[in-house]
Amino acid sequence: MSDTNDLMKQVHELEKFKAPPSLQEKLLAIPELHAKPANFNKQFRRIAPFGLAAAAVILLYTNVPHDDEEPMDTSYSYEEIETARQELAMAFHYLTDVSQQAGADVNHLIADSGKQALIKGVFYPILDEKKELNIKSGETK
Amino acid sequence: MTDLYRSLVSKHQDQVYSLARYLLADASEAEDVAQETFIKLWKNLENIGEAHIVPWLLKVTRNGCLDRLRARKALVELDEQDLPIVEKDEPSAIEGHRRMQETLMAMIQSLEEPWRSLLILRDIHEHSYESVGEILELKPNQVKVYLHRARNKLAELFEVQQNGLTNHE
């Protein structure tokens, strides 16, 4: 294969990659995940604590020490960190639930794109779920 | 709108993913870029003319990939020593073909822009000169001239690699 034409013939035969089925599922879910709910700003303020808790999960989940380890940041007491860890764990379970309802895997979302995936893949479903809960409980605001 | 979006995913997801996969040389990152691209498509679908959807998708994909490559700080620049060596005593023809394909893929990925994108878009994915021009913001004539240079660069790289192999023996 000494000349450019022969080489280019080989280039033409290079594989065209196919999108994996798991990617197609994520792409098809985008319209649902990115539908902006009505009263977005009002809803945003109301569920902001969930968003913050979720962001904290992303940022701290792997950094919080376990029971038998010394806290890494000594400006916090062990009790404070333990409380935060428990709250983060609860928030993580909550995220898992809502993301499963949205057909997503929270571990995958977090591993993939961190906060961006959180906002796109989890935050909106939280909004939807909060809205649904409010409707069920008769709250109209 | 959702039906249109879904049909566009079915039609174009492979092209988007394949372009990202070639540019980034990383399956996981290619998936991320594909997702980001289709999120942008969903948000901008009303503003994109049907005839421009494919170039638009591939342009956004390429930009997303280039951003990531810049963020990596070290572009996927493989030097000659890093390229897979095509050995002459291959165990089988199939294995030899596979190694050759890997070598070519790595060489294309090691080229700089716009040579790399030109070869990927035109020679691997077979987009028209007009589409490639729209994606890379080049005139069709420029595409032809640049593509010729890109092919020559690839051939030079291949020759260097082959000579290196000969000297190595």
pLDDT score recorded for residue A86: 61
Residue A10 pLDDT exceeds 90 = no
**Closest approach of chain B CAs to the CA of A10, in angstroms?**
7
**Closest approach of chain B CAs to the CA of A59, in angstroms?**
20
pLDDT by residue (tens digit) across B152-161?
A: 999 999 888 8
> With pLDDT > 70 as the criterion, what percentage of chain B qualifies?
85
- A32 vs B22, higher pLDDT: B22
Residues of A in contact with B123 (CB under 8 A): 8, 11-12
Q: What one-character DSSP code corresponds to residue B52?
A: G
Q: How much is the ipTM here?
A: 0.77
The closest CB to that of B6, out of A4, A19, A28, belongs to A28
Residues of B in contact with A4 (CB under 8 A): 151-152, 154-155
Interchain proximity A16–B18, CB inside 8 Å: yes
Vertex B61: Cα angle to B104 and B102 (nearest 5):
15
Q: Within 10 Å of residue B128's Cβ, how many Cβ atoms?
A: 14
Instruction: Give the integer Cα–Cα distance in Å for B30 and B23.
Output: 8
Given pLDDT bands bounded at 50, 70 and 90, which one contains residue A95? Answer: low
Vertex B69: Cα angle to A113 and B6 (nearest 5):
50
Instruction: Give the integer Cα–Cα distance in Å for A85 and A78.
Output: 10
Report the predicted TM-score, pTM, of the whole model to 2 decimal places: 0.60
The closest CB to that of A8, out of B30, B35, B123, belongs to B123
Q: Which fold has domain B1-76?
A: Rna Polymerase Sigma Factor; Chain: A (1.10.1740)
Interface mutation target, options B1, B11, B13, chain A, most CBs of A under 10 Å: B13
- The CATH 1.10.1740.10 portion of chain B extends over 1-76
Rounded mean pLDDT of A112-116? 46
Which stretch of A98-102, A118-122, B22-26 has the lowest confidence by average pLDDT? A118-122
Interchain proximity B123–A3, CB inside 8 Å: no
Q: What is the average pLDDT value for chain B, to the nearest integer?
A: 85
- B73 vs A37, higher pLDDT: B73
- Burial of A10 (C-beta count, 10 Å sphere; 0-12/13-18/19+): middle
- The CATH 1.10.10.10 portion of chain B extends over 77-169
Q: Which secondary-structure segment (H or E) carries A57?
A: helix A40-60
Residue B40 pLDDT exceeds 60 = yes
Given pLDDT bands bounded at 50, 70 and 90, which one contains residue B126? Answer: very high
Q: Which fold has domain B77-169?
A: Arc Repressor Mutant, subunit A (1.10.10)
Residue A110 pLDDT exceeds 50 = no
Instruction: Give the integer Cα–Cα distance in Å for A135 and A104.
Output: 24
In angstroms, what is the C-alpha Rg of chain A? 22
- Burial of B46 (C-beta count, 10 Å sphere; 0-12/13-18/19+): exposed
pLDDT score recorded for residue B168: 52
